[in-house]
Homo-oligomer: A and B are copies of this chain.
Amino acid sequence: MEKTAQQQLIRALSETTIELIAVIVAVNAGDPRVLTISNGSALPSGPFEMVHRSLQAGLRLWVKEQTHHALGYMEQLYTFADRERTATTQRHISISYLGLTREARDADGTDACWQSWYRFFPWEDRRAGVPDVMHDITAQLNAWADAAATEYDRSQRRRRVMIAFGLNGVSWNEELALQRYQLLWEAGLVAETGIPAPLITGVAMTHDHRRILATGITRLRAKIKYRPVVFELMPPEFTFLDLQRAVEALAGRLLHKQNFRRMIEQQELIEETGQETRGAGRPARLFRFRREVVDERAVTGSKLPLARN
Write the residues of chain A forming the contact surface with B, with a CB cutoff of 8 angstroms.
2, 5-6, 9-10, 13-16, 18, 48, 50, 53-55, 76, 78-79, 81-83, 89, 91, 93, 95, 126, 129, 159-160, 163-164, 170, 173, 175-176, 179, 222, 224-226, 247, 251, 253-257, 259-260, 262-263, 295-309
Does A55 lie within 8 Å of B76, measured CB to CB? no
Q: List 29 A-B contacts (CB under 8 A).
A: A2-B2, A6-B6, A9-B9, A9-B10, A48-B81, A48-B93, A54-B81, A76-B79, A126-B309, A160-B295, A163-B295, A173-B297, A173-B298, A173-B300, A176-B296, A179-B296, A225-B303, A247-B304, A251-B304, A253-B306, A254-B309, A255-B305, A255-B306, A257-B307, A262-B305, A263-B305, A299-B302, A301-B301, A302-B302
Distance (Å) between the CB of A161 and the closest chain B CB?
A: 11
Bound complex: CA of A92 vs CA of B53, how far in Å?
12
Known pairs A255-B306, A309-B129; A55 contacts B79 (CB<8 A): yes
Does A301 lie within 8 Å of B302, measured CB to CB? yes
This chain: copies in complex: 2
Residues of B within 8 A of A5 (CB): 6
Residues of B within 8 A of A129 (CB): 309
Known: A126-B309, A222-B301; 18 extra A-B contacts, CB below 8 A, are: A16-B48, A48-B93, A54-B81, A54-B83, A55-B79, A55-B81, A159-B295, A173-B297, A173-B298, A175-B298, A179-B296, A225-B303, A253-B309, A254-B306, A256-B306, A257-B307, A299-B302, A302-B302
